[in-house]
Amino acid sequence: MGDFIIYNTLSRKKELFKPINPGHVGMYVCGPTVYGEAHLGHSRPAITFDLLFRYLKYLGYKVRYVRNITDVGHLVNDADEGDDKVEGKAKVEELEPMEIVQRYTNSYRRNMLQLNVLPPSIEPSASGHIIEQIETVQQMINSGFAYEVNNSVYFDVEKYASIHSYGILSGRKIEDLYSNTRDLDSQGEKKSGLDFAVWKNATPDHIMRWPSPWGYGFPGWHTECTAMSTKYLGEPFDIHGGGLDLLFPHHEAEIAQGVACFGHSPVNYWVHNNLITINGQKMGKSLGNFINLDQLFAGTHQLLEKAYSPMCIRFFILQAHYRSPLDFSNEALQAAEKGLERLFKAVTMIDGLKISDQSTIDVPGVIEKCDNAMNDDLNSPILIAHLFDGVKMINSVNDGKSTINSIDQAMLKKLYNDYVFDILGLQPDISGAGTENSKVFGQVVDLLLNLRIVAKKNKDWSTSDKIRNSLADLGFIVKDTKDGFEWELKG
């Protein structure tokens, strides 16, 4: 399965990937909190871990990919005193919380389908795993790292930090955390301001609550990922992914909870994607640059000059390395759009290339470079650069400046099928060109252009011009060639 290297946030190093069970990979990724429409910020982790999921499968692994749906217990700013986010919205809209959850879960799934993000193997929801979370909390109490107070249960960070390393993942120092937290005076009923709720008491007016050994309540945000990841993947498991914004406190808390429950670190490889900025700014509702995916695909946000297709967004995100920051701008997206078009055009040309006895291009060299790029910590921008080297070769053969033999042609075809479609997950826009009807309509255009050739032969310039100008008005670009004509329809 090759030598696949991945950067491990825990060790701060690139490491050779070795799964716990040969041939199998368990991967858990933090999914969306479903109390609003999916936005630009959701697209990057979804596409990053879709790339990893697809590449691991390409390498021959059987992957169980678990991505959760947070539909309860996500406390605002990790402030334990805050209301549950989902319920907050439900009260405003006078809806059952699960109705909100359903609406936005459907919307998220629809957007993921548009982005050609494969569904995970299991998509567990927090509200569907309350029993498992109660058991997790009980384990933390049993091991002495969590305590009950007023029907809530808190993780005892001070005690944990006295034995284990709290900050091992994020690199934060417990002393710094203490001084920050004490300033905020947010201790309340907790032993220390650093402690976080793993189970929170809820009064009867709180709709989303369940019975537990500590009375009616709901689980803390960090609890669900510990409970659900280990339920479906065992412990330890191979890969835990998420956005860099989740590094602290969420993932740090998950490690501490895992150690408290199982006596050992719960995850071997921690993988984090970097974040998205828009025109150099952080995304935020107050900044007016908070763009929903539906707005992006329809071009309906004031910052957008036009609509960008899901594939354009996907390609744009893959053109950057997942650990680099990525800035969205109209210019950058339009450049990605052109690049993607060029890539797809070359791919469709492979089948029709003229076959020679000898190749003057180095196909095996390109393949090796592509494999190396992906094996080096999923370096998709380098991969794409090499795929564009291949595009140059394809164009060069097509123009008669280079030659290709049939073996190389077959290898080239496999390369682009594997990387463009299967691994990068790019797919041509099928709204027009791909359908059966469009094929017929394309033949109508051919028919018309053949009539124009006849008209020209007959020196019937009026008809010939009329055909050319009318097609141009409709958006067709017609090029006269030696053999007749070529045309394309500008999108």
Q: Which is nearer to a second copy, 272 or 468 (CB)?
A: 468
Among 131, 163, 307, 472, binds a second copy (CB under 8 A): 131
Task: Give the CB-side neighbour count of residue 63, counting CA atoms within 13 A.
Answer: 26
Residue 253 CA to residue 250 CA, distance in Å, equals 5
User: Applying CB under 8 A, which part among 100-108, 178-186, 320-328, 374-382 lies near a second copy?
Assistant: 100-108
Identify whether the C-beta of residue 268 lies closer than 8 Å to the C-beta of residue 261.
Answer: no
Q: Please give the full DSSP string across 228-281, using - where no structure is assigned.
A: HHHHHH-SSEEEEEEEGGGIIIIIHHHHHHHHHHHSS-SEEEEEEE--EEETTE
462: number of Cβ within 10 Å: 9
341 binds a second copy (CB under 8 A): no
Give, in order, the Cα–Cα distances in Å from 109 to each of 57, 60, 63, 119, 232.
21, 26, 20, 8, 21
Least distance from C-beta 443 to a second copy, angstroms?
6
Among 135, 148, 418, 422, binds a second copy (CB under 8 A): 135
User: Applying CB under 8 A, which part among 121-129, 145-153, 299-307, 396-404 lies near a second copy?
Assistant: 121-129
Among 42, 44, 54, 64, binds a second copy (CB under 8 A): 64
Identify whether the C-beta of residue 7 lies closer than 8 Å to the C-beta of residue 271.
Answer: yes
2 binds a second copy (CB under 8 A): no
CA geometry: angle 351, 379, 402, nearest 5 deg? 30
Q: Which is nearer to a second copy, 372 or 438 (CB)?
A: 438
Q: Which is nearer to a second copy, 303 or 433 (CB)?
A: 433
Tokens encoding 255: 């490690």
Tokens encoding 488: 């394309």
Give, in order, the Cα–Cα distances in Å from 128 to each of 72, 265, 272.
10, 25, 26
Q: Which is nearer to a second copy, 121 or 143 (CB)?
A: 121
Site string for a second copy, 466-485 (x = CB under 8 A): xx--xx--xx----------
Least distance from C-beta 158 to a second copy, angstroms?
31
Among 58, 147, 210, 421, binds a second copy (CB under 8 A): 210
Give, in order, the Cα–Cα distances in Å from 427 to each of 214, 312, 328, 341, 456.
51, 10, 21, 11, 39
Q: Which is nearer to a second copy, 194 or 261 (CB)?
A: 261
Q: Which is nearer to a second copy, 74 or 129 (CB)?
A: 129
Q: Which is nearer to a second copy, 213 or 284 (CB)?
A: 213
Binding residues among 411-440 for a second copy as defined by CB under 8 A? 431-433, 435-438, 440
Among 129, 240, 321, 468, binds a second copy (CB under 8 A): 129
142 binds a second copy (CB under 8 A): no
Least distance from C-beta 173 to a second copy, angstroms?
39
- Return the residue matching tokens 């609550």: 209
Binding residues among 240-279 for a second copy as defined by CB under 8 A? none
441 binds a second copy (CB under 8 A): yes
Tokens encoding 384: 């794409």
Least distance from C-beta 130 to a second copy, angstroms?
6
Residue 137 CA to residue 226 CA, distance in Å, equals 10
Least distance from C-beta 108 to a second copy, angstroms?
13
Q: Find the Cα–Cα–Cα–Cα dihedral 43, 340, 426, 365, rounded to 10°.
A: -120
CA geometry: angle 227, 230, 233, nearest 5 deg? 145
Q: Which is nearer to a second copy, 354 or 466 (CB)?
A: 466
Positions in the binding site for a second copy (CB under 8 A): 64, 96, 98-99, 102-103, 106, 109, 119-125, 127-131, 135, 210-211, 232, 431-433, 435-438, 440-445, 447-448, 451, 454, 463, 466-467, 470-471, 474-475, 489
